[in-house]
Amino acid sequence: MEFITGNQAVVRGALKAGCNYVAGYPITPASSILNECVTAFDNGAGTIIQTEDEIAAIGQCIAASMAGAKPLTATSGPGLCLYSENIGFAQMVEAPLVIVDCQRMGPATGGATATGDGDVIFAGNVTPGGYPLPVFAATDAVSAYKLTYLSFNIAERLRTPVILLTSRDIALTRQSVDLDAVQLPPVIKRQWADPDASFSPYEYDSIENVPDFLPIGGPVPVRCTGSIHGPDGLLTNDRHAIDRKLAHLSAKIMDHRHELTHVDADRDPQADTLILSYGVADGAARDAVDELRSQGHRITHLTLYTLWPMPEQAIRNAASVNVTRIIVPELNIGLYAEQLRRVIHTADIQSITRIDGGLIRPEQIIEAYTMAPCQ
């Protein structure tokens, strides 16, 4: 057992996945990820750079990725805003990259030492065009460790940036964990192409497939541009080539969404209420469910570790049959609950929100459960 913070767990997960390049700019509450990596790479196992700003940090990570590295960068909400243009660039050049967003109260500078989950919609829609990104949300140190590891696997498998959301209380709170007991799949390695004259850096058989990889700077030219391009990486005005490239950026994520769905479903087929939670509010939700069940109430509980693409089938499964009410605790203005209303039309969706930098308590969820549902 270890007594570590969520940020330390993120670093452990990244190292386990083979991360060997980290660039970042200090920002509360993500800064200790940078600090931990300084120690982790002290033996020469990787490269770490403190950059002059957030734009430089993600730019260096994209370049490192396209040169063959497995990079990580970490920030908070204001930094994610600055990352946004380069996240789109990473999508266009199909650069595997993991971004950790340790959320805090917003908007703008907000509360640097106050917690929140206010980036949940922005993270999934961070770039122009609306092309999908895998976005995960940790609930504690153990899930931060596992999801960081899985994020690297998905980044490599689908050649995409991946965003992992934590929050101040997950990032900085210490928990007793046994990371050796966490079951992880094998590390996914990048699919390297044969370096011959026929290589095209963005060629694939069908749009849901992922192109093989060769690093920039090698013996075969690899063009890397954020402008629309064809399979050879050259800019194009050909409508068919444009349509195929952009359809590919969507299909390679959406057609593999089953691989991206990570939830914890605790179903009671007789329950008429589903408590759906994610992020730091999940701990209070679990305590509330345990207390209500001890009192004889029938409750279904669903924890979402995947936020985007929204795990619609898992949500519908949890909300099937007898569920007439869904309670969603979240540390924002009800952002994810509003998205759920677009998917679920068979149950009333009730928000429990807190936006003052404090945590939702189990008692608030229990109180919401005991109140008559809205009509």
User: pLDDT class for 375, splitting at 50, 70, 90?
Assistant: very low
Q: Which amino acid belongs to residue 348?
A: D
pLDDT at 237 over 90: yes
Quick check: 232 and 98 in contact, CB under 8 A?
no
- pLDDT, residue 46, reads 96
The whole-number pLDDT of residue 321 equals 81
Residue ranges of domains in the chain: 2-181, 264-370
Element (H or E) spanning 340, and its range? helix 335-340
Average pLDDT value for the chain = 96
Residue 374: which pLDDT band, with cuts at 50, 70 and 90?
A: very low
Determine the average pLDDT of the residues in 160-181: 97
What was the pLDDT predicted at 327?
Answer: 98
pLDDT above 80 for 197 = no
Q: What is the pLDDT of residues 5-33, one digit of tens each?
A: 999 999 999 999 999 999 999 999 999 99
195 vs 256: CA distance, rounded Å: 28
Percent of the chain whose predicted confidence (pLDDT) is above 90: 94
Contact partners, residue 164, CB within 8 Å, separation at least 6? 10, 98, 99, 100, 101, 135, 136, 137, 138, 144, 147, 148, 151
Confidence of residue 104 (pLDDT cuts 50, 70, 90): very high
Q: What pLDDT sits at residue 162? A: 98
| pLDDT (mean) for 340-369 | 96
Same fold, 2-181 and 264-370: yes
pLDDT of residue 372: 60
What local confidence, expressed as pLDDT, does residue 129 receive?
92
R_g (Cα) of the chain, nearest Å: 21
The pLDDT of residue 241: 96
pTM over 0.95: yes
Q: Flag whether pLDDT at 348 surpasses 50.
A: yes
Alpha helices in 94-138 (DSSP H): 120-124
pLDDT-derived band at 373, boundaries 50, 70, 90: low
Task: Quickly tell me which residue has 């330390």 as its tokens.
Answer: 8
CATH class of residue range 2-181: alpha beta
Average pLDDT value for residue range 351-360: 97
The second-level CATH assignment, the architecture, of 264-370 is 3-Layer(aba) Sandwich (3.40)
Cα(6)–Cα(265) distance, integer angstroms: 23
